[in-house]
Structures are given as structure tokens and as C-alpha cells.
Structure 1
Amino acid sequence: MLNLSRDIQSLSNFKRNTSEFIEQMKQTGSPMVLTVNGKAELVVQDAASYQKLLEAIEYLETITGIQQGLDDLNAGRVRPLEAFTKEMQQKHGIPSSDY
């Protein structure tokens, strides 16, 4: 969670105290919003927190994809694998692998 008094700083202040702010971000795991002329311009965060964010996004995208598949299944928007395979073979000129 963003702490407004701690995690919003001017870019000038960040430049002057970079090492302190890096340590703060590592300890808290919170990003820092940097302002220029009083307006939010950048968000900075430590690498470990960024990696966790990317993993969380990937997880949520996976869950969303699974939910979409289940919704399609429940709505009848499915077809047999054989029909899909035949369509792709014809569309892309893939020879049949019938044995």
C-alpha cells in the first residue's frame, strides 16, 4: 500500500537521497512516486518487488484465461479437437498425420 507521506517524493529530493530511498523501497516493498513540478511523473520500485508484480500479473492472466475457457465451455463455444485440427491443417497446408 502506498504511504502518501513517505512514498511520494520530488525527483530532486530522490536524486539527493537516492541511497536512502532505495533502502526504504527494499525494506517496505512499496514503490515510490516521483514528482516533477508537483505532478506525478515516475514510479520507481526495487527489482524484487517488480518481479513479484510481474508474477502476480502472470498469475492473474492465467486465471483469467482459465475462466474464459470455462465460460466458453459452459456457453457451448467449443468444438471437437479433430475438427480444429482438420481446419488448421487445411488452412496452413499441414499434411495429415493419419497412420
Structure 2
Amino acid sequence: MHYSTQVKPITHLKAHAAEVLLQIAERREPMVITQNGEAKAVLQDVASYEETQETLALLKLLAIGNRQVEEGKTSSLADVAERLHTGIQS
């Protein structure tokens, strides 16, 4: 996706806020808002934002898991199965 097609000055946002929000929701593409010619903000629909946050949370869990493996903080399948069966947590 090329964001260069979705770059608008803040004056456009001020003058066409309802239209911009509708466009963002329909296209599900973020819009870069500029001020004095510089990118200042990214406007995104709520559904896309929520998906991004869920993806980041999953990536964080994967990173934590990878770090634990590197640190040797692992358990055998038999140990995990036993803990699940008996309800013991570590």
C-alpha cells in the first residue's frame, strides 16, 4: 500500500471531516495528515486500529515465548500435560 495517495493537509480534514471519516471507513486505508507540509498524524478507522492492536499483542506474545526459549525456560510436553491435568500452574 502506498500512503502517498492518502496524504491530505490538515485544512482538508477541517473542511471535510465527515467525508474523510466516511472515506477512511469505506477504504480501510489510513490517511496521513500534514501540517505546514510535514506529516503530523495518521488517521485510521477503528476496525483497522483494533486489528493492528491485536496483531501487535500476538507478536509481543511470540517475542516473549522466543525469549523464554532462548533463556532455557522451557518445559517438556509431559510436564505441561501433568500440570494441566492436575491444575498446578508454575
With the shorter chain as reference, the TM-score category is 0.7 to 0.9
- The aligned counterpart of 2:32 is 33
Shift of 1:41: 0.9
Deviation by residue 1:12-61 (Cα, 9 ceiling, x = unmatched): 00111111211121122221110011111111111111111111110100
Distance 2:23 2:2 in 1: 13
Aligned positions, number: 73
Question: Root-mean-square deviation (CA), in Å?
Answer: 1.3
Q: Which moved more, 1:57-66 or 1:20-29?
A: 20-29
- The aligned counterpart of 1:57 is 56
Which runs of 5 or more residues in structure 2 are unaligned?
74-90
Distance 1:25 1:54 in 2: 18
Summarize the alignment of residues 53-92 of structure 1 with structure 2, pairs less than 5 Å apart: 53-73=52-72, 78=73
Deviation by residue 1:45-89 (Cα, 9 ceiling, x = unmatched): 11111111111110100010111111111xxxx5xxxxxxxxxxx
Letter in 1 for 2:3: N
TM-score computed with the length of structure 2 as normaliser: 0.73
Runs of 4+ in 1 over 6 A off after TM superposition: none
The answer as to whether partners of 1:2 and 1:31 remain within 8 angstroms in 2 is no
Shift of 1:2: 3.8
Identity %: 26
The answer as to whether partners of 1:8 and 1:33 remain within 8 angstroms in 2 is yes
- The aligned counterpart of 1:4 is 4
Which runs of 5 or more residues in structure 1 are unaligned?
79-99
Distance 1:2 1:52 in 2: 19
